[in-house]
Amino acid sequence: MKRLWVIAPVALLLVVWLGIRCLNARWAPATDELPDLSQWPPDAQTVAHRLASEKEMAKKRALFASLLTSRFRDRPDAIAIRVSWDNPNTIKLCCPARMEPWNMSRIALMVWREARNDLGENCSIVIFHTYISPGLIKVGELRPMPQNPNRAEVKYNFHMTENQLW
């Protein structure tokens, strides 16, 4: 009889735990990663084709930034991402404040690769979180690796300091 008092609560907890796991598996999102971003219109080939018609580098950079921004904003499930040039060697990537870091890294790497392929420049990318009231907050950087320019490294710093507010 004493064993029943121990086995019954353990069995009940096990059944409740398994039920919760099954419910979470059924209704939880499959993934929180964005799909293949380079295939969203305008895709990488379209961007390269449109940039080939421009001769002046400043116009190429402006067109590149507007095409990549439209890739995220001109769709039914729009994402508030903006690509712009901070200076000739640095791209400014503004992402929503609630975007996961791995998605920001994927977007930054995609932009960096397309900039290298289409513009022939090995630039760096500064990643910002966008907010309505405080403005932009710098959260990370993508830098090409000095020993291997075909690879890049993304570093984040989510601890806000004075130099992060823009």
**What pLDDT is recorded for position 49?**
92
Q: Is residue 13 part of a domain?
A: no
Of 16-20, 81-85, 141-145, the least confident: 16-20
pLDDT for residue 26 is more than 70: no
CA distances from 18 to 2, 21, 25 (A): 25, 5, 10
Q: Is residue 86 part of a domain?
A: yes
pLDDT for residue 12 is more than 90: no
Q: How much of the chain, in percent, has pLDDT values that exceed 70?
A: 87
* Closest to 50 (Cα-Cα) out of 75, 71, 76: 71
Q: 123 lies in which domain range?
A: 37-156
pLDDT for residue 79 is more than 80: yes
pLDDT band at 160 (very low <50, low <70, confident <90, very high): low
Total domains in the chain come to: 1
Q: What is the number of residues in the chain?
A: 166
Tokens for 79?
């994402």
**Mean pLDDT value across residues 57-84:** 92
